[in-house]
């Protein structure tokens, strides 16, 4: 018999889950592990001093902060902890990356972005404006299997490749959409991009992947993906409010201009992308995340743990998507935004709107849940402004969509309660 995720054991690591509140806005931020908080406390109370000194406490503190990069490298299968940078947020990381790449992008070269979370769009658009270079959009298109729902869209490889030219320098896309819930086959896309760019004679192609909505659900593997840059936020993966940026060693050597102080010899290390240091206690606290994930699998293997997470999350999807795509819900005007199918190509981040003759504003539906209490869901554009604004029929961008986002510590019983309440609100 195949192992299954021990939900009770997983939930016991999160004090916030003990009062019965149903957290269903996990794409906005997961709950924090007790062990992460313990690490923060231990660092601040026992080793809180400046790094790099010769005295014993500083030596301990320096190693603790460095261990954060070691742990993150293990989590994403990076070749070296020197490829890992920490910072306050994912958005800040990409802003820094765009600045650091600016000197290596020629005036006539092009960037391709997706209309997803602005963290992987805005910095490149601003770089394009500063340099006067072309920024192209890999737009989401209709899913053929859902011809009757114009909100059922996805990123399709066959619409990306025609955008590649001899001038393509960088492509920035999402491993998983924080709105659509759909997973991008990163390795397949990167392989096709590199082949197309080589065929068309591009000088240099690099790829930056937004993994924020992907990291809680599947394991990142930067070696297998063959990516140059990727990033995510640990507060979406059971940790503190800190972001992690991966930059491939070759890119650090050949593409990145250092953002660090001019007198520091940073060589081909991630310090090039880390001006100043992050709060020291936070990188150290992230070292508690990997052991927790490993504890979810009897083998202690990270890949096995994420396989168990993915299997459980399919069980969470079943009652939610089952209702939202049912004849009853469709007749009420419910339209899922993104992939309508329950399969391994999507995560349990589910967005929808209520349209038709009895249209219901997203904020009004969420307000009913807020008033009843005991459960957290949310409405809005969730910083995927361009994507929401592109959907047809047009949506009120400020009202946006309703999003329910589940992770492995949610239970099927919680989802069934949520669905029951949805049915009551939409009756």
Same domain, 238 and 317: no
Same domain, 331 and 393: yes
CATH number, residue 375: 3.90.1150.10
pLDDT digits over 345-367, tens only?
Answer: 999 999 999 999 999 999 999 99
CA–CA distance, 258 with 99 (Å, rounded to integer): 9
| Domain assignment present for 2 | no
| Domain assignment present for 366 | yes
Per-residue pLDDT band for 1 (boundaries 50, 70, 90) equals low
Same domain, 313 and 264: no
Please say if the pLDDT value at position 76 is more than 80: yes
Q: Which domain holds residue 16?
A: 7-31+299-426
pLDDT digits over 293-303, tens only?
Answer: 999 999 999 99
| Domain assignment present for 202 | yes
Same domain, 86 and 176: yes
Burial tier of 404 (Cβ tally within 10 Å: 0-12, 13-18, 19+) = buried
Burial tier of 59 (Cβ tally within 10 Å: 0-12, 13-18, 19+) = middle
| Domain assignment present for 51 | yes
Per-residue pLDDT band for 81 (boundaries 50, 70, 90) equals very high
Same domain, 284 and 328: no
Same domain, 252 and 110: yes
Domain boundary pick from 292, 311, 327:
292
Same domain, 103 and 235: yes
Please say if the pLDDT value at position 390 is more than 90: yes
* Stretch 261-290: mean pLDDT: 92
Average pLDDT across the chain, whole number: 96
Domain boundary pick from 260, 277, 292:
292
pLDDT digits over 134-156, tens only?
Answer: 999 999 999 999 999 999 999 99
C-alpha distance from residue 320 to each of 6, 313, 344, 392, 412 (Å) = 21, 11, 15, 23, 10
The answer to whether the CB of 374 falls within 8 A of the CB of 389 is no
Same domain, 65 and 197: yes
The answer to whether the CB of 382 falls within 8 A of the CB of 27 is yes
CATH number, residue 89: 3.40.640.10
- How many structural domains are present in the chain? 2
At 309, list the tokens: 């997470």
Please say if the pLDDT value at position 323 is more than 70: yes
At 130, list the tokens: 């500063």
Q: What's phi and psi for 414, nearest 5 deg?
A: -65, -40
The answer to whether the CB of 212 falls within 8 A of the CB of 26 is no
Same domain, 241 and 321: no
| Domain assignment present for 39 | no
Same domain, 252 and 361: no
Number of H helices, E strands in the chain: 16, 15
Domain boundary pick from 237, 264, 292:
292
| Domain assignment present for 38 | no
> According to the model, what pLDDT value does residue 277 have?
78
* Stretch 92-102: mean pLDDT: 97
> According to the model, what pLDDT value does residue 26 have?
97
A 10 A CB-CB count for 130 gives 11
The answer to whether the CB of 209 falls within 8 A of the CB of 186 is yes
Please say if the pLDDT value at position 266 is more than 90: no
Same domain, 239 and 360: no
Same domain, 121 and 139: yes
| Domain assignment present for 104 | yes
| Domain assignment present for 103 | yes
> Cα angle at 183 between 293 and 237, to 5 degrees?
30
pLDDT digits over 189-200, tens only?
Answer: 999 999 999 999
Per-residue pLDDT band for 279 (boundaries 50, 70, 90) equals confident
Please say if the pLDDT value at position 321 is more than 80: yes
The sign of the torsion formed by the CA atoms of 152, 156, 162, 165 equals positive
Render 283-341 in DSSP notation, one character per residue: HHHGGGHHHHHHHTSTT--HHHHHHHHHHHHHHHHHHHHHHHTSHHHHHTTEEEES--S
């Amino acid at each position: 018999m195949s192992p299954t995720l021990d939900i009770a054991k997983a939930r016991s690591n999160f004090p916030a889950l003990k009062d019965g509140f149903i957290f269903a806005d996990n794409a906005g931020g997961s709950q924090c592990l007790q062990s992460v908080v313990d690490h923060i406390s231990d660092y601040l109370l026992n080793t809180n001093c400046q790094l790099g000194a010769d005295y014993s406490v500083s030596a301990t503190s320096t190693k603790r902060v460095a261990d954060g990069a070691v742990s993150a490298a293990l989590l994403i299968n990076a070749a070296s902890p020197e490829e890992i940078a920490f910072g306050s947020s994912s958005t800040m990381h990409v802003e820094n990356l765009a600045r650091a790449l600016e000197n290596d992008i020629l005036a006539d070269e092009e960037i391709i972005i997706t209309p997803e979370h602005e963290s992987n769009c805005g910095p490149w658009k601003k770089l394009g404006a500063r340099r006067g270079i072309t920024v192209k959009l890999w737009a989401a298109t209709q899913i053929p299997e859902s011809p009757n729902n114009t909100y059922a869209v996805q990123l399709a490889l066959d619409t990306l490749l025609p955008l590649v030219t001899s001038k393509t320098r960088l492509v920035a896309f999402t491993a998983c959409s924080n709105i659509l819930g759909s997973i991008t086959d990163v390795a397949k896309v990167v392989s096709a991009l590199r082949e197309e760019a080589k065929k068309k004679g591009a000088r240099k192609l690099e790829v930056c992947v937004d993994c924020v909505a992907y990291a809680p659900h599947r394991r990142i593997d930067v070696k297998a993906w063959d990516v140059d840059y990727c990033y995510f936020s640990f507060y979406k993966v059971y940790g503190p409010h800190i972001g992690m940026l991966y930059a491939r060693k070759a890119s650090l050597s050949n593409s990145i201009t250092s953002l660090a102080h001019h007198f520091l010899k940073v060589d081909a290390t991630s310090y090039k992308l880390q001006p100043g240091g992050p709060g020291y206690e936070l990188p150290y606290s992230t070292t508690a995340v990997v052991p927790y994930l490993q504890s979810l699998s009897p083998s202690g293997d990270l890949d096995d743990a994420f396989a168990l997470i993915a299997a459980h999350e399919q069980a969470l999807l079943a009652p939610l998507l089952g209702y939202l795509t049912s004849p009853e819900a469709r007749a009420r005007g419910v339209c899922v935004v993104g992939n309508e199918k329950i399969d391994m190509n999507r995560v349990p981040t589910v967005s929808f709107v209520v349209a038709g003759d009895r249209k219901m504003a997203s904020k009004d539906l969420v307000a009913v849940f807020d008033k009843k209490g005991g459960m957290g869901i949310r409405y809005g554009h969730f910083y995927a402004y361009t994507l929401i604004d592109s959907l047809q029929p047009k949506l009120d961008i400020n009202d946006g969509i309703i999003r329910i986002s589940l992770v492995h510590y949610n239970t099927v019983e919680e989802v069934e309660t949520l669905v029951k309440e949805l049915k009551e609100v939409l009756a």
